[in-house]
Structure 1
Amino acid sequence: MTAEPTRFPAPDADWHAFLAGTVDGSLAAARGHLATLKDGTARTTAQVLELWGEGDLALARASSVAHLLAEVHPDPDLRAAAEERAQAAEDLDTERGLDHALWQVLAATGADGLDADDARLRERVLRDFRRSGVDRPEDERDRLRTLAQRCTELGLEFARNIREGARSIRVRPEQLVGLPDDFRAEHPADGDGLVTLTTEYPDLLPVRTYAHDAGVRAALTGEYLRIGWPQNAPVLAELLRLRQERATLLGYPDWPTYDAEVKMIGSGEAIGEFVERLDALTAEPSRRDVDVLLTRFRADDPQAAAVTPADSLYYDQVVRREQYDVDAQEVRTYFRYDAVRTGVLDTVARLLDLTFTRVEAPTWHPDVEVYDVESDGERLGRVYLDMHPRPGKFNHAAQFPLVPGVAGRHLPEGVLVCNFSTGTLEHDDVLTFFHEIGHLVHEIVGGGQRWARFAGVATEWDFVEAPSQLLEEWAWDPDVLRSFATDADGTPVPADLVARMRAADAFGRGAWTRRQLNFTALSYGLHAAPPEDLDAYTAEIDDRFGPYAPLEDTHQSSGFGHLQEYGSAYYTYLWSLVIAKDLRTAFGDDLMDPEVGRRYREAVLAPGGTADAADLVERFLGRPTTFDAFEGWLTARG
């Protein structure tokens, strides 16, 4: 019988008791299952895998709850307690991976007679043991254990410094010229006659996009690029060094080689080759885009020497307005948060044959909305939407797993964590919403597996972004947008405006992709050969890839949160984008074709991690993926 969804306490209840009961209880259960495996009892392979799966499920449950609450709970003491338990969950995962006796139990099993899922689980577990170093001498295992535990500590600290490191500037009200009226109304002057602007997204993005005052743009962008500094500089340096030591002890030349072994890309060397291929593809389109921005910048300031990150969004929207007749402030009037939320959910529901039903249930904050997901009269799982910023909350956008879906045991649960305004949104926010809902439905539709290991977003890590990047396409479809994008009077977004938005979108793709390549090269290079001077190395990457001139006295790597989670694998975003553009070709001219949508759901999302991503893609497309659609998208002109 499937367990009921998670029962959170009321916001003002004893969350420490909930945390202890849920996380500590699950960790104790996981330890118990692992101890049973080593008790000397003779067991069949199926029995061994069953006990392993029970431990996997308990550990996943503990880790998911702890990591989520460490990022979203409004009480800083509870967040700290959750972070300690997230560390404990990671430590237990490290311990089991280095447990020689446990490894011997799994290694003694045989593959004969196993079905595909059981055989895949056994192979993956034995692979994990090998990659943890369980077969190394005891002194090396002890060192690897210490390294893994310290890397977890450093990763949590790195993320915490970013999450809690919001900065701000204060400006005069007249310096907000260019910003939307609703933004200015929400930012009144204080008793000193000054307005506070923070580096949180609902302030940062409008300021970078609309503020006429270049000094304000530069000041706030500069503060954003100093988030996590100086605290994170030594944290990141140590994390990079210890990852390198772990890889070397395990017999790999560097961390990217170790990390990429279990991803689609296959090797660290292939990451470097991917960077070089994209370098060749993006250099000219990027140069062309930046030249357009700089020319327009110099019309305002003849002394302008280069476009910086403080200028890029502003002049991008100026060019779109003047050359493509797309006014971002007009566009945003059609994207009111409540309507966008409903429209995104409805679109995904129609496409994938799902139903989202709002339910009342206690959560960690009153802003959080809860929905049950159903299909064909059956409840598939539950999702939570935590969509608006607050102090101490995770300050980007991400999907957090909460409960892995295991057939007959637990329905999958996932949490969408974003930082959108409660009023009107930018079109980029709508893209982000579609992107993140892609992860969320993957978590739910891919649940219901036999093993927690394969539930939800459990494919190779460099594929997980592809389904989300594919869903961004629906944020550009005129019929989809007209179904929910309306102004205050209820008038749908005009078709000709959407057509102009689509034409304008082709402008800037080169620079945008080149900026992603910058992050990709930084992520890879920092890990391939950890530098002595992080800022100096970042400057080298900026000099080669740009596409924008860096702001002085900024420290991008200290606030680059993906270095903790993705490590050397930020290439994932561009790698997955290549696949996403290819997946898009299957929908032809009708993005809402229910037959293709259902086929996509069943072929790509529903299997979770039970098959290799390349096989899932080929199953859907009828052929292996290629670069062709991506190259066509990159070079298209508006």
Structure 2
Amino acid sequence: MLAAPGLPAQAAGPLDEATLARFGPEARAAASLEWAALDDAAALRRQCDQGLRAFEQEGQALRRRATADAGTLLPAYGALSAGFEDRLLPLAFLARVHPAAALRKAARACELRQQAALQRLHQQRSLLRALRALAPADPVEARLRQHLLRRFERAGAGLPAVARDQAAALQEALALEIQAYDLALSEDRREIRFTPAELAGLPAATLSELPRDARGRHRLGFDAVTADAVLRLARRPATRERYWRVWMQQGGEANLRRLDTIVGLRRDYAALFGVASPAAFELQGRMAGDPATALAFLDRLEAQIAPAQAAELAELQALQAADPQAAPGSRLQRWDLAHYADRLRQQRHPHEPEALRRHLPPQAARDLVFAIAQRSLGLRFEQIDAPLWHAQAQRWRLRDAQDGRLIGDLLLDLHPRPGKYGHFAVFPLRGGAPGRLPLAALVGNFDPQGFSLDDLETLLHEFGHALHVLLARPRHVDAAALQQPLDFIEAPSQMLETWASDPRVLALLPNVCPRCEPIPPALLQAALEARRMGRALHVGRQLLFARYDLLLHGAQPQPPMALWRRLEAASPLGHVQGSLFPASFDHIVSEYAAGYYGYLWAQVIAADFGSAFAPDPLDPAVGRRWRETVLQPGNEQPPEQLIQAFLGRPLREDAFRRWLQGR
């Protein structure tokens, strides 16, 4: 997931004098900022006040300049965007990762003020008029101009005064509701308790890490690591069911009400522009273009997977029927899927999945993805000793492996802790452009005991987002990678994630971790073969999520829970009464609203991209072409042009169909 907190970053840590001289005062100013200095709520509020004052003053100067000389608008607007990043970037981001609750609260308040300031800027009619009058010098400027025009028009700069005020009020209310929805999830402290016997099947190492109450019961939270362990490995159906039912209550009825309000506000906002639905409003400028095209894509994909999905479910049902732990005649339930899918993989390709964690400690997994980038993309990584927001966080500097050129910085915060963002995402904190060093933060919640191949896939996926942010080198910061259409943004990361299943990539592991116990060839082969199973069920679930998102944001208003209940009830396993999944579906509350289909849309592109790497994923010539034709341009070219430039032809779906078939 590529997350956009709407904030700015810094390039803390010392830069050499030659670099400072080459990059000039922007790099020097960024280098002087220190993350660790933001150690309390008061300090954060002061920096927020200063940054917003500077942004308002620079916005006023931009309006005066645009009136006097529209020809300087694009570079002047870029400087304003860069200043927003450099002064404010860490602040909203710290709401996701800082250990202090008071500071997280202050960061969320600052984020709301940032969003309001951006809305005010983008409602300036004088800037919209200047953009409309601007004569672009070339296709790159023409695309940037069109992108900025859409930004101002969508903010309401072209609306009458009353409607502009309504747009601002709706955006303010929307930001509050979204933040409250996310807060209900990130600050969830509920626990569920099980005896050791109830958790039979979980590895001893996992159980030893779980805290216990006075009666000796294990206390479990609902982070990604714990949920995966319980639902996949717990042998008792009652344990899996109890955990799943409580997990599916995250957010509760309050978040269902917030989701309904959020979609209603989006509907009112789209209506200000005469657009029939939030989905139609959001899909303007994306590859799909409109909801009908996106839904037709989902329909076509669903028809392709239906037979395989039915066959996969039948196999799991048969496995459950033969399980002495299951009640006679019981039907396969949602809390059973991960467990029996894991057991079926074991039956077909016997191996101990958890054993892989012994061979892939977190440091080795990190170094492996760095080695992939070095071999394929010509990058070099150096750790920077700089205090950050938590002792677990790390800072890494990227350089070109050939000439040592400085590329940017990567922040890593990879393991779960209370109050931290609970999923996996990359936050693009500072966009690349001439004279600017990009900065990205990769945030995850991986098991500190070690990585499975699924974990490695997730790390590679997020690392792909980070590389996209760091390697983009557009002329203007507002054409950075984050500005690409949402249904393309996932393609580079989804391409890279497939390398977790390539033995040629995993063969690098002894080089990066000589002290690691080598993975036995039989274990690795079985694990890789097992990963080919269950793809139709996975895609089927993603299709359900995507269809729900589009219909929820469609032309016909529908209560969130009623719509979900109807759609899930029509799926092969049906709906479980009392489960409240939409109350925790945070993707569609944030920047993926009416865009969840983009994961599958981009996966088709990613599979075709991967076909170019099929002969050798570590081929530096192909990697260099990938870096230069797909990642480096940022949003200076439309996705179709990037696809053509890399593949030498238009997009095809053949590679995705082969992937679906397990090939």
By the TM > 0.5 criterion, same fold? Answer: yes
Q: 2:72 maps to what in 1?
A: 47
AA of the residue aligned to 1:507: M
Distance 2:242 2:345 in 1: 24
**CA displacement at 1:104 relative to structure 2:** 2.5
Aligned residue in 2 for 1:571? 597
Deviations 1:587-607 (A, max 9, x none): 122111111011101111111
Q: Give 1:59 shift.
A: 3.0
Residues 25 and 122 (structure 1), Cα distance of their counterparts in 2 relative to 1, 3 Å cut = farther
Counterpart of 1:354? Answer: 379
**RMSD of aligned alpha carbons:** 2.2
Q: Percent identity?
A: 30
2:397 equivalent in structure 1: 372
Alignment partner of 2:220 out of 188, 192, 197: 197
Match among 557, 560, 568 for residue 534 of structure 1: 560
Q: Are the counterparts in 2 of residues 326 and 504 from structure 1 also a CA contact under 8 Å?
A: no
Q: Residues 42 and 556 (structure 1 numbering): CA distance in 2 closer, same or farther, change over 3 Å?
A: closer
> Per the alignment, in what secondary structure is the counterpart of residue 483 of structure 2?
coil
For 1:304 and 1:3, how far apart are their aligned partners in 2?
A: 67
1:310 to 307, 321, 335: 335
After TM superposition, give the deviation of residue 222 of structure 1 in Å.
1.8
2-side partners of 1:189 and 1:558: how far apart? 29
Report the 3-state secondary structure (helix = DSSP H, G, I; strand = E; otherwise coil) of the residue aligned with 1:311: helix
Aligned amino acid, residue 357 of structure 2: R
The alpha-carbon distance between structure 1 residues 10 and 210, as it changes in their structure 2 partners (threshold 3 A), is same
Q: Which residue of 2 aligns with 1:106?
A: 131
Q: Does 1:387 align with 2:387?
A: no
TM-score, structure 2 length as denominator? Answer: 0.91
Native 8 Å contact 2:501 2:531 kept in 1: no
Task: Give CA-to-partner distance per residue, 1:370-427, whole Å, 9 cap, x none.
Answer: 100000211111111001111111000000112222311x200110000112112222
The 3-state SS of whatever aligns with 2:509 is coil
The superposition leaves residues 44-93 of structure 1 with CA deviations (integer Å, 9 ceiling, x where unpaired) of 33312222222222334456423311111111111111111111111122
CA contact (8 A) 1:308 1:550 kept: no
Give the alignment of 1:108-507 within 5 angstroms. 108-111=133-136, 114-187=137-210, 189-300=212-323, 301=326, 303-375=328-400, 376-408=403-435, 410-446=436-472, 448-484=473-509, 490-507=516-533
Determine the C-alpha separation between the residues in 2 that align with 1:9 and 1:40: 32
Question: Displacement of 1:567 after TM fit?
Answer: 0.7
Show the counterpart of 1:622: 648
Distance 1:580 1:318, change over 3 A: same
1:184 and 1:487 mapped to 2: Cα distance? 27
Say if 2:94 and 2:104, in contact at 8 Å, map to a contact too: yes
Alignment partner of 1:600 is 2:607: no
User: How far does the alpha carbon of each residue in 1:111-162 deviate from its partner, in whole angstroms, 9 at most, with x for none?
Assistant: 3xx2343332222222222333322222112111111221122112211111
Counterparts of 1:188 and 1:488 in 2: how far apart (Å)? 33
Aligned pairs (5 A) from 1:76-87: 76-87=101-112
Residue 457 and residue 109 in structure 1: after superposition, are their counterparts in 2 closer, same or farther (change >3 A)? closer
Alpha-carbon displacement from aligned partner over 1:312-351 (angstroms, at most 9, x marks no partner): 1111110000122233233333222121111122222221
Residues 487/207 of structure 1: CA separation in 2 closer, same or farther (3 Å cut)? farther
**Inter-CA distance 304–367: structure 2 relative to 1 (3 Å threshold):** farther
CA contact (8 A) 2:81 2:478 kept: yes
Alignment match, 1:92: 117
Summarize the alignment of residues 577-592 of structure 1 with structure 2, pairs less than 5 Å apart.
Answer: 577-592=603-618
Q: What letter matches 1:55 in structure 2?
A: L
CA drift at 1:17:
5.4
Contact 1:535–1:555 (8 Å) recurs in 2: yes
Q: Please show how residues 8-27 of structure 1 align to structure 2 within 5 Å.
A: 9=34, 11=36, 14-16=39-41, 18-20=43-45, 22-27=47-52
TM-score, structure 1 normalization: 0.94
Structure 1 stretch displaced more, 197-206 or 23-32: 23-32
What is the identity, as a one-letter code, of the residue corresponding to 1:323? R
Q: Which amino acid aligns with 1:132?
A: A
Q: Tell whether the 8 Å contact from 2:358 to 2:517 is kept in structure 1 after alignment.
A: no
In 2: Cα distance, 1:443 partner to 1:21 partner: 29
Task: Choose from 22, 43, 57 the match for 1:32.
Answer: 57
Give the C-alpha shift of residue 309 in structure 1. 2.8
| Structure 1 residue 163, shift from structure 2 partner | 1.2
Equivalent residue letter for 2:539: T
User: Residues 515-534 of structure 1: matches in 2 within 5 Å?
Assistant: 515-529=541-555, 531-534=557-560
CA contact (8 A) 2:364 2:513 kept: no
SS in structure 2 at match of 1:528? coil
* Structure 1 pair 158–445 and aligned structure 2 pair: CA distance change class (3 A): same
Which is worse superposed, 330-339 or 357-366? Answer: 330-339
Letter in 1 for 2:159: R
Q: Is the 8 A contact 1:207 1:217 kept in 2?
A: yes
For the residues of structure 2 that align with 1:330 and 1:472, how far apart are their CA atoms? 21
1:168 positional shift: 2.0
Kept after mapping to 2: 8 A contact 1:23/1:65: no
Contact (CA 8 Å) 2:40, 2:103: kept in 1 or not?
yes
Alignment match, 1:73: 98
Assess if the C-alpha contact under 8 Å between 1:97 and 1:132 holds in 2.
yes
Runs (5+) with no aligned partner, structure 1? none
